Amino acid sequence: MYTSMLLVALAGVPVAADAEGTPKWQTSYTEAKKQCVADQKPLAVFIGTGKAGWNQLARDGKLSKEIEQVLSDKYVPLYVDSSSAQGRQLATALGISDPVGIVISDSKCEMMAFYHEGDLASADLSRYLARYSDPNRVVQFTESNPGHHKASYAPVGGCVGGCCGGRCR
């Protein structure tokens, strides 16, 4: 009887990683890309430093609940810690030289839809996430806040179509 009551009591306790609106941050590019392809959701690669470095992308230092909800519902969120050697290598392969940035793929995880180095105002980040979450959006070139364009979504260890001029090798 006590076991049953304990199970009922624990059933209502939310788990932080599974709480509604909380993104389930991937840390493996390979696994995140597989999930992106399987779920047909764009990959949102947040680059930052430290344990919860994804918050550094928001200029005010914390992702809003609205942004977290969009990431949870419409993206495969990947966090890359650029303070580690492996994280720097992946960030460089994606064309991000700043310790903070974001890369968003198309829903097939084939093309880089959006690229930005540095932090963003929450309103801008929210607007970009809403724009690129549209599964019907056709990506022909990479859009960027500072005007930097890339031809495709570069995988780790090499380019697709010469997107970075050989920088990611």
Query: Is 144 or 30 the better-scoring residue by pLDDT?
Result: 30
Amino acid at the residue 67: I
This prediction has a pTM of 0.74
Res. 7 pLDDT band, cuts 50 70 90: very low
CATH code of 18-144, in short, is 3.40.30.10
Res. 148 pLDDT band, cuts 50 70 90: very low
pLDDT per position as a tens digit, 111-140: 899 999 999 999 999 999 999 998 777 776
- Whether the per-residue pLDDT at 23 is higher than 50: the answer is yes
pLDDT per position as a tens digit, 59-116: 999 999 999 999 999 999 999 999 999 999 999 999 999 999 999 999 888 889 999 9
pLDDT for 144 equals 67
